[in-house]
Amino acid sequence: MELRKNSGPLKWVLIILVVIFLAVFLLLPLFYIVITALRDGIGGYIASITDPYAIKAALLTIRATIWAVVVNTIFGIAAAWCLTKFAFKGKKVISTFIDLPVTVSPIIAGLIYVLTFGRQSFLYPILDGWGIQIIFAVPGIVLATIFVTFPFISRELIPVLTAQGTDEEEAAALMGAGTFTIFRKVTLPHIKWALLYGIVLCTARAMGEFGAVSVLSGHLRGKTNTLPLYIELLYQGYDFTGAFAASSILVILAIIVLALRVWLERRGNKEAEIHY
């Protein structure tokens, strides 16, 4: 309290610093995206974002994102559940490995999959025999997206589940409730907001993923180009209006995600007030 009362100048210096920082690093580029995207007028902008390749890229991004979110939701719940509700050997190791994608560069993640499923891999003939192509195809993009986003949901759930402990589940089990009933009636209401929050973070990351996807995609226009890759392609071809117009789609998606995030946090806090 003392600090807050007597540090008027410090407060203002810090506020100005933060505002300048945000303006230079965030608002200015965002503003520039809008300006450049609209440089050729609204007509040019609409033409850019309704370009068939742009639409295909956007659809592929959404497809990869949905896959990543679905797979990681299941995996995230399973991982968080087993790490918090059971005691077993190797728990710490698993917990550390889950965090790996956060620390590993996405390029390396992409290369790992190229090595695992590419021509030089022993898996390649087997998969090829079944007619499955992973590298330079949509499955590779989905795999890369899943890889870079898989810590997000479990990391949101683990603290909540740890704080809750196992008492409520034990109480329900002692009254004869089955595992699924316990999950649905006791655990799920508890993790609901954290889970949705994790899904939002996972979505945001999945939509924007560039590095790992870039290695695995092969850059086939209209086939394996996601939105970020498509933007790069346009940019490299000096089509700045097109690149920034496509970027604006990602920006709009990001703003929607941000709004969802704020709303989820508010709802979650409000509910926490009632139940704690």
Partner 1 sequence: MSDNANYVELRGINKHYGSFQASKDINIQIPKGRLVALLGPSGSGKTTILRMIAGLEHPDSGEILIDGKVVNNIPGSERGIGFVFQSYALFRYMTVYDNIAFGLRVKKTPENEIKERVAELLKLINCEGLEKRYPSQLSGGQRQRVAFARALAPNPQILLLDEPFAAIDAKVRLELRTWLREMITQIGITSIFVTHDQDEAIEVADDIIVTNQGRVEQAGTPQELYANPATPFVVQFIGNSIPVKNYDQFQYFARGGPDTVAILRPEFISIFKKGESVQFSRSAEEGVVEDIIFRGSNLEIRVRLHDNLISAIRSINDPFVEVGEVVDVFIYRLFVVDGDRVTMEYNQSLKRESVVI
Give the footprint of partner 1 on this chain (CB under 8 A): 165, 167-168, 170-177, 181, 185-186, 189-190, 274-276
- Specify the residue, 93 or 175, whose C-beta has the smaller distance to partner 1: 175
Nearer to partner 1, 100 or 163 (CB): 163
Cα separations (Å) of 141 from 43, 212, 213, 215, 241?
A: 32, 8, 5, 9, 26
Q: Answer yes or no: are the C-beta atoms of 166 and 91 closer than 8 Å.
A: no
* Beta carbon of residue 39, minimum distance to partner 1 (angstroms, whole number): 52
For residues 29 and 178, which CB has a smaller minimum distance to partner 1 in the complex?
Answer: 178
Q: How many helices (H) and strands (E) does the chain have?
A: 16, 0
What one-character-per-residue DSSP string does 138-151 give?
HHHHHHHHHHHHHH
Residue pair 232/210 in contact (Cβ under 8 Å)? The answer is yes
Report how far apart, in Å, the C-alpha atoms of 201 and of each of 159, 163, 195, 204 are.
16, 21, 10, 5
Tell me the C-alpha distance between 254 and 248, whole Å: 9
Tokens 């890889």 appear where? 147
User: Minimum distance between the CB of residue 174 and partner 1, rounded to whole angstroms?
Assistant: 5
- Nearer to partner 1 by Cβ, of 4 and 275: the residue is 275
Which CB sits closer to partner 1, 99 or 170?
170
Could you tell me the smallest distance in angstroms from the CB atom of residue 96 to partner 1?
Answer: 22
Q: Which is nearer to partner 1, 118 or 268 (CB)?
A: 268
The token duo for 63 is: 């497809």
In the complex, the smallest distance separating the C-beta of residue 84 from partner 1, rounded to whole angstroms, is: 16
CB of 31 to partner 1, least distance (A): 44
> Given the complex with partner 1, which of 2 and 167 has the nearer CB atom?
167
Least Å distance, CB 70 to partner 1, is 25
Q: What is the CA radius of gyration of the chain?
A: 23
Helix (H) or strand (E) holding 266: helix 240-275
Handedness of CA 109, 112, 117, 123 (dihedral sign): negative
CB 166, min distance to partner 1, A:
9
**Residue 172 CB neighbour total at 10 angstroms:** 18
